[in-house]
Amino acid sequence: MELLIAQKFVDDQRFARLFVREKFRLNRWGRVKIAHLLRQSGIGEEAIQNALTEIDEDSYYRTCVDLMKRKSASIKDKNPYSRKGKILKYASGRGFETELIYRILNSEEMG
């Protein structure tokens, strides 16, 4: 085990980077949810923040827009305020930042 640690095979930073890439790419989770789960795993704040830089900003934005559009298409409610509330709740539950969600909801991309 000491050899693995010495050669950085077992390392919090490495684990955090791999965790971030996997959860974003495969599960399409946002930074808030990913960071929360890393904290629960006992990973330090510095390692978490460094690992979160692995996520490409454009890809992150596009993923959030895509998830929100899909959710919007599945909502039967016609009331625009209720629709926005449901989309907001869904996207924040996926771990995306509220500021980003509002920016997308108010953009022309959500039409």
Euclidean distance between CA atoms 22 and 27, whole angstroms = 7
Can you tell me the mean pLDDT for 94-108? 95
- Domain limit, last residue, from 52, 68, 87: 52
| Position with higher pLDDT, 77 vs 109 | 77
pLDDT of residue 4: 47
Can you tell me the mean pLDDT for 86-95? 98
Q: pLDDT tens for residues 38-90? A: 999 999 999 999 999 999 999 999 999 999 999 999 999 999 999 999 999 99
Residues 70 and 43 in one domain: no
Q: How many CA atoms lie within 13 A of 3 on its CB side?
A: 0
Residues 48 and 69 in one domain: no
Euclidean distance between CA atoms 93 and 63, whole angstroms = 14
Number of domains in the chain: 2
CA 45 to chain centre: 16
The dihedral through the CA atoms of 20, 37, 9, 27 has a sign that is negative
Structural domain of 72: 57-110
Residues 46 and 65 in one domain: no
Q: pLDDT tens for residues 4-13? A: 445 555 578 8
Residues 48 and 87 in one domain: no
Residues 65 and 33 in one domain: no
